[in-house]
Amino acid sequence: MPLPDSFIQELKMRADIVDVVSDYVHFNRSGRNLVCLCPFHSEKTPSFRIYPETGSFYCFGCGAGGEVITFIRKIENLDYIEAVKLLADRVGLPMPENSYDDGIAKLRTRIFEANREAARFFYAQLYSEVGKSALNYLRNRGLSEHTIKHFGLGYSPNNRYALVDYLKSKGFNDHEIVSANLAYQNKNGKISDRFYDRVMFPIIDLRGNVIAFGGRIMGDAKPKYLNTSDTLVFKKSDNIFSLNFAKNSDKKHLILAEGYMDVIALHQAGFTEAVATLGTALTSEQAMLMKRYVDELVVCYDADEAGQKAAQRAIGLLRQAGINIKILTVPDGKDPDEFIKKHGENGAARFKQLLENSGNDVEYRLQKIKQTCDMNSPSDRVKYLTEAAKLLATLDSKIEQEVYALKLSEEVNVQKEIVIQQVNKLSRRKNNEYQKRQFREIQDNMSARSDKINPQKSGKLRAAKAEEAIIAYLVYNPDMVRIITEMLPPEKIITDFNRRVYVCITTRLLNGLGAMPIDIASEFSPDENASIAAMLAIYQREAATIEAAEEYIKTILSENDKLNMSNNEKTKQEDILEYMKKLKEIKK
């Protein structure tokens, strides 16, 4: 059953979208609406709009949109009911009992509970007889008892059914255990532990839930690390290891390390701002997540080839997210864990010096280019300048370009103006390519070729746009519903998706119910809600007058007539072909 309308109305009154979104982003006023940088994609020019009048939001950059429930679903990675619960708790509104289908929400809750029990089990095993070797391994790595407890480290026994049997004794069934990716079904049809004979690292979200695990083998077997696959409560690309601790640090930056042990060693040494990705390269989602908490990030990856490649890729994503970047290179090719241990009591102080002396990403990348060139060779000096100019052309700040152009000119003994001239040439080329991409994207959007929510739109563009305008008009002018539905019955709406939206809105309005985005959110998927939010954003001004609405209705009815004529012609042709076929059969 759906949530009672009275509950949704109360939630709508209390959970104001402006108040909720302000917990995640900083925005400015633009007329009646609010504008800010989008929290769902990297951008430098604000494309994200909040519309208090309709309680909706829409990003003209990435297409994210909806209302306050969809916003929470998207930013917190929750399903519909969980997002409603979070908002209800926020405003002190009790959830109605036994009036909604929360099957997925219940399974998510059971996965959280199974993960929590699994963490307790792994921790207990670490301090049992079977976990002695794992505990010695952690102690030999220099971890204190406090650190082991703080991070909830554990051990998965060398037994394929140890965790499964334990969780079943706690009342969990096979489906729940497998859904948590704590086990898998083997070829005999039984479920077996996913992790065995590994040191275990619980992964905890920002609300303190255990959402996944990383397991490290203690020997030389492969894979060295095994991580939970994506589940209903966990997505690798959206989460950061130890951000639940680091977000409370008093530092103005985060240290992005490469692995679990580096992060744990750094925390133990007092660098509680350390975090890591989860067995994958940094993603744009993770970059945006860290941007919520800091404006500066120190990348501290391993000095080997793989680590340096990962650092180069991370720089691009972090710059797109608007994060200031520094690069910390640990001497002698060591990782932070090895470096701190090597220097014993002075390890933390020595690492702090490295942190304070870390340079920004431009200097780091210029140095990497320089290392590939012989500066005594004229051709290599040209190569260095050429590659360096390409790098400077990617910088948005003219001041940065000027500063590093001067540095290059002094370094290679050429005029600064020559360097700037080359940088400007490459910048213009880059901007031209960007404008071409933008033009292609605009063309695609205008033609609706890439519209997956309403795939009929591209073939019936004139009708679909008029339908969207009428839907927006009804949301902004609910008192006109009877007049509009008399002029435009639902069956006249040509595209299927728009008809669904039109029927949903008009039915609610005719029955005296609200039809704002939050009122209808449960009827549509997050992507469909984004499409509806786009209609309201695009046709906000056009939906102002009845005269405009009448013009859109005329367009829809006209397109209906064309469609009917086309169908009649098609029917006539089919009848003629059928008649000719029968004549041939008679002649035979």
pLDDT per position as a tens digit, 495-554: 999 999 999 999 999 999 999 999 999 999 999 999 999 999 999 876 678 899 999 999
The residue to which tokens 């435009």 are assigned: 488
Which CATH number characterizes residue 44's domain? 3.90.580.10
CATH of the domain at 175: 3.90.980.10
Tell me, yes or no, whether 445 lies in a domain: no
Three-state secondary structure call for residue 335: coil
Do 20 and 134 share a structural domain?
Answer: no
CATH number at residue 473: 1.10.860.10
Query: pLDDT grade, residue 304 (50/70/90)?
Result: confident
Tens-digit pLDDT profile for residues 446-456: 556 778 899 99
Structure confidence at residue 409 (pLDDT): 92
Average pLDDT score, the chain = 90
How do strand 274-276 and strand 48-51 relate by DSSP bridges? unpaired
pLDDT class of 438 with cuts at 50, 70, 90: low
Cα 22 to Cα 25, 208, 248, 292, 454, distances in angstroms: 5, 22, 19, 12, 31
Tally of structural domains, the chain: 5
* E runs forming strands in 71-208: 154-156, 183-185, 191-193, 198-204
Residue 137 lies in a domain: yes
* Same domain? 120 vs 87: no
The proportion of the chain whose per-residue pLDDT surpasses 70, expressed as a percent, equals 92
Check residues 279 and 156 and name the one with the higher pLDDT: 156
Residue 334 maps to which CATH number?
A: 3.40.1360.10
DSSP 45: S
Q: Does residue 257 share a domain with residue 201?
A: no
H/E element, 383: helix 378-393
Residues 6+ apart with CB under 8 A from 187: none
Give 391-427 pLDDT, tens digit per residue. Answer: 999 888 899 999 999 999 999 889 999 999 999 999 8
**Do residue 190 and residue 116 come from a single domain?**
yes
Query: Is residue 124 located within the same domain as residue 210?
Result: yes
The reply to whether 504 and 562 lie within a common domain is: yes
**Domain contains 450:** no
Which pLDDT belongs to residue 583?
Answer: 58
* Domain assignment of residue 441, yes or no: no
Give the domain range for residue 486.
457-570
Can you tell me the distance from the alpha carbon of 506 to that of 487, in angstroms, rounded to the nearest whole number?
Answer: 13
* Pair (52, 164) in one structural domain: no
Residue 276's pLDDT is 95
Residues 229 and 326 in one domain: no
Lookup: tokens for 465: 């746009």
Residue at 251 is within a domain: yes
Which helix (H) or strand (E) segment holds residue 179: the answer is: helix 174-179
Determine, yes or no, domain membership for 198: yes
Residue 3 has pLDDT above 90, yes or no: no
Cα 192 → chain centroid? 32
Residue 451 is assigned to a structural domain of this protein: no
- At 279, the pLDDT band (50, 70, 90 cuts) reads confident
Mark whether 250 and 209 lie in a shared domain: no
Listed residue (59, 61, 105, 112) closest to 85, CA to CA = 105
Say whether both 183 and 299 belong to one domain.
no
CB 385 within 8 A of CB 419: yes
Same domain, 279 and 300: yes
Q: Are residues 117 and 226 in the same domain?
A: yes
**What single string gives the DSSP state of each residue in 536-575?**
HHHTTTGGG-HHHHHHHHHHHHHHHHHHHHHHHHHHHHHH
Is residue 468 in a domain? yes
